[in-house]
A and B are shown apart, each in its own frame.
Chain A
Amino acid sequence: MTTKKQIQDFIVLNNKKINSDYFELELKAPVKLPEIFPAQFIEIHIENAKDTFLRRPISIHDIDYDKNTITLLIQIKGEGTKTLSKIEKDASLNIIYPLGNSFSIPDKKEKVLLVGGGCGSAPLLFLAKYLFNKNIIPYILIGGKSENDILKIENFGEYGNVFITTEDGSLGFKGIVTEHPLLKKEVEKHNISKIYTCGPEPMMKAIAKIANKNNIACEASLENMMACGIGACLCCVVETTSGNQRVCCDGPVFDVKNLKGWE
């Protein structure tokens, strides 16, 4: 998107622990938020985290333009996110935003499917809400290792028809997302015109394969490691049909047909 990028101090309104692996941060912007689109992300500077030098790119989970807040759903992965998980209410966080492109929004009549794995479901809530507000009710398929990784289902339920898979069978269908009967039922019958996916790369690749096989458009939001997040360092590249492209600003969303090794 062409929205001007900004660097500002946001205030922590709420830091909510979801379970031992995930937490949710609600951050208040110091100025009126510009329009932000699904799959766009922010870069957070985390102070005083051990051995953490660079900013952390985090996707936007939800936006409230009335409250002027951005909500993030974060998985604790390393020292940076661990420190961030302990941040207190009213603390300030330096943020660069909004970054990256966004999912393309379909015409009203289309039937679309959102497929998220683990923390990859975070930006899909924003997308589901965005689609819902445009009168598109998506199918939403969320997968995880166990029920611990299935997050905010009640919120997803407000915007679409939700289906769940867990590898250990602790919640929903037992298996991985690509094995869910929904894919057989809806994708192979061509009731769906587009798939949006975000999650672990093997999962997204498997979804892309199914989409390609059935000739359905598919967009994936990638999460390569980044240094700058604004297109300068060339660290986060992905191999595409038109050469190495930057996930931070040519992405994070790519049409899977353009990604090498995703055929």
Chain B
Amino acid sequence: MADLNIKIKNLELKNPVLTASGTFGYGEEFEDFIDINKLGGIIVKGTTLEPRQGNPYPRMAETASGMLNAVGLQNKGVDVFINDIYPKIKKYNTNVIVNVSGSNIKEYVKTAEKINHLDKIPAIELNISCPNVKQGGMAFGTNAKSAAEVTKAVREVYKKTLIVKLSPNVTDITEIAKAVEAEGADSVSLINTLLGMAVDVNTQRPLLSTVTGGLSGPCVKPVALRMVWQVFNAVKIPVIGLGGIMNANDAIEFILAGATAIQIGTANFIDPQISIKIIKGIEKYLSERNISSINDLIGGLKMESA
């Protein structure tokens, strides 16, 4: 059996498959379908300092090979997470990572500080890339200076593994990746959703209450893969790849392009067992090729002409 263990700073994963924030609830929603403990980790729903109601319905529109969402970080706030949700999910024998968001630097810092005290949360994913909130979110992630500032402020209070989730809605994603690396990020994950929109020609209205929303699913995969490859070549810290991964081959494409780990997002909606199937698929790929460790595959894209 091939070795699937990987490490991101001090974070040890039994395999490189994580579930993406906002697509996997708090894990409990999937307990009927899979053994959560077999995953490399789960990244729970975006958490903010105060509770948020999110955006009005409709929040979703189907597109060719994907979907748009405008959920807008609906969550009960970090205190309810700590008091009510954390006690139920700390039993998982896998890495439970919290996605942290905010409207300003102070909120990010306070939320991260509170989560720093939770023994069974080994890492946070700093969300500076949510396209569906009016303040903060993507605003931090589309500018190298503000991305650096929020990373620096959170790094001062957060002592465990710090992952920063990047937005694809930028001119040069490597600039943002380098900026957060310089301020102490242990890893970057990419991509968050691409800003998009859809129109109903019968009503002549936008399909989302917010007009624009975040595009995800297989339609974004080539863009995500390209960005993972660019960032892998620009930074030294491990890259976590996501964006339209629907099967093991998609996951392996990201790993070859430089991803140390990958996240499964929208695919969880179509097949709640897909994350486990992808772990098995990666294992099979390695075994069939006599590759002893997943680490030998990371960034292994062959560039010389055949």
Contacts and interface: CB of A to CB of B under 8 A. Distances in A.
Chain B interface mostly: loop
A249 B63 CA distance: 24
Given A53-B62, A53-B217, A54-B62, A233 B71 contact: yes
Interface in A152-208: none
B25 A227 contact: no
Contact of A51 (B58, B62, B266, B270): B62
A135 interface: no
Contacts of B25: 231-232
A230 B217 contact: no
Contacts of B266: 227
Contacts of B69: 227, 233, 235
Contacts of B33: 5, 7
Contacts of A54: 62, 67, 269-270
B290 interface: no
A228 interface: yes
A244 B65 CA distance: 28
A7 B23 CA distance: 18
Contacts of B22: 233-234
A52 B54 CA distance: 26
B116 interface: no
Contacts of B60: 225-227, 233, 235-236
Interface in B53-101: 53-54, 56-60, 62-67, 69, 71, 74
A184 to B, nearest CB: 33
Contacts of A52: 62
Contacts, number: 87
A28 interface: no
Given A53-B66, A228-B268, A235 B29 contact: no
Interface in A41-99: 45, 51-55, 96
Contacts of B65: 51, 53
A109 interface: no
Interface in B18-54: 22-25, 29-30, 32-33, 45, 53-54
Contacts of A249: 29
B246 to A, nearest CB: 10
Given A5-B32, A6-B32, A96-B272, A234 B74 contact: yes
A106 interface: no
Contact of B272 (A224, A225, A230, A238): A230
Contacts of B143: none
A213 interface: no
Nearest to B57: A237
A160 to B, nearest CB: 33
Interface in B252-266: 266
Contacts of A234: 22, 45, 54, 59, 71, 74
Contacts of A238: 57
Contact of B24 (A7, A53, A55, A232): A232
B273 interface: yes
Contact of B74 (A7, A96, A224, A237): A237
Interface residues of A, number: 29
A30 interface: no
Contacts of A232: 23-25, 29-30, 268-269
Nearest to A50: B64
A54 B54 CA distance: 22
Contacts of B217: 53
A233 B270 CA distance: 11
Contacts of B24: 232
Contacts of B32: 4-6
A7 B57 contact: no
Interface string A219-263: 000001111101111111111000110000100000000000000
Contacts of A237: 54, 57, 59, 74
Contact of A45 (B64, B74, B270, B273): B270
Contacts of B54: 234, 237, 244
Given A232-B23, A237-B74, A244-B74, A55 B270 contact: yes
B41 to A, nearest CB: 16
A52 B67 CA distance: 10
A224 B67 contact: no
Nearest to B65: A53
Nearest to B219: A53
B58 A53 contact: no
Contacts of A7: 33, 271-273
Nearest to A226: B60
Given A54-B270, A243-B53, A233 B23 contact: yes
Given A7-B273, A235-B71, 18 more contacts: A7-B272, A51-B64, A53-B65, A53-B217, A54-B67, A224-B57, A224-B58, A225-B58, A227-B69, A230-B30, A233-B69, A234-B54, A235-B60, A237-B54, A237-B59, A239-B57, A243-B53, A244-B53
17 contacts: A53-B62, A55-B270, A96-B272, A227-B69, A227-B269, A228-B272, A230-B29, A232-B268, A232-B269, A233-B22, A234-B59, A234-B71, A234-B74, A235-B69, A237-B59, A239-B56, A244-B54
Interface of A: 4-7, 45, 51-55, 96, 224-228, 230-239, 243-244, 249
